[in-house]
Structure 1
């Protein structure tokens, strides 16, 4: 697919189609790049998760208080609880996601091309379909990793159990709940991440087209290709806008999903009970616990990811 998926005809020189990539190099280099991005942004996910599962009487109810508490008791390593588990699962999940995303976007763009729709609308539809399908495929790998890593993130916090690493978490879940325990919240994960991915990619694709139109690009076929810095800035702006949109829409579902996944087997609340408990404790704003860190995480991760991804495709393009 394109390196700048939402640019007009005049930006065609910057596009790198899926069939023009060296797939082996793409996956190997990509694993390294996205591991680096995950290292940088993982603490934000940990803080967001702790805020979402905090009990009503928890002392640490803000992002800064959570960070201070972790650094005071555990130091920097405390910000990376569960990181090894996430990396072990994130690489195959990311490969599945990117492959499904790119191949689906190609088909979706072909599907909407004949219709008389605006360029931002076509980009939103094609990118949204690609993001949703990619998320659906990757959830089979991602959900068990999510369940294990989130329990490691919150162990010992606000009354949650202690574990001796990811294997201990998995063993105890399998013993108490069987394989179904590793997929607790799978339905909500699909309901949360698939729309979130669709919204993110749709917002990213359409916002880029809109920005280029505002800047006057794409109005003539003979106009010069924008500078690399211009392209990067527009991609970054698209990533920030996409993160803001997706986080605001999907945070309530993410909060419910996280609570379901970290509860011990002796509690087993339903999604309805989780919602009632959150509203009872904090009102409707309880559904938006961790919105700040999630907004920052999705914007920062999305922007970093998309810039790294576009760079990755340039690096892995086949020599003509």
Structure 2
């Protein structure tokens, strides 16, 4: 008999892996009023996690905390099995190493109560690749967030070949009830949806830096003060629909379609030479202008909160 709670009855979320993504999940679930049990194998894992949650809390407080939400609802459990045994839902956020994830998911599966859903934050691997060692692969599913998970609403949910359809549906509903914006994908796609779009932009940016066509600062400014201002309102498809004027997307495609054949972009990966690496790193240091990572995180969070509020999404 399944011990899986209804999506709205989840009370304890277990977060496996407490780095940037896993820690962001911890902060988010705490802010939504859940009890969170976290596990991470790093010797300083608890210290880093609590630093991240403390840094995220002002933005989450500004957005509005759920009833009963508190940092005090966080428990750091050094034993993986003991952590998983308490789960109503598991969110795994280990590093992007396929064999590591395959083994870790199997260990999580072995220690988690029957029927409880196990979700992975993987940003590139399909669940079909990762669930092979699990005794109960039918309850494993991808719940791919965006950084920082405690502020960016989107989660992409997709199962693997052995995942039960009801698990995909359950996970999508759980994330919706937890306040997330959910894309439920019908098919596994390498890199999912949003990452594939980000990757195209990222590759072209690296090519431009490598070729001396643009600096790091110019690339960032071209987005923050250009198309990036439109994207929080409408995505790229509806933005181009408007670019067609009263004729909409039909006019856009008929008029500008031939330009798709122009050799403007290079979607193949740029060679990450030492020179390109140094140019990108140095450019980011210049653009940061002495601001620490913590300073930049706080600035980013204030900006995202303001955008969410301005759009009526918070």
More strand as a share of residues: 2
* Larger relative contact order (Cα-Cα within 8 Å, sequence gap ≥ 6): 1
Please give the TM-score of this superposition, normalised by the length of structure 2: 0.23
Please give the TM-score of this superposition, normalised by the length of structure 1: 0.23
More helix as a share of residues: 1
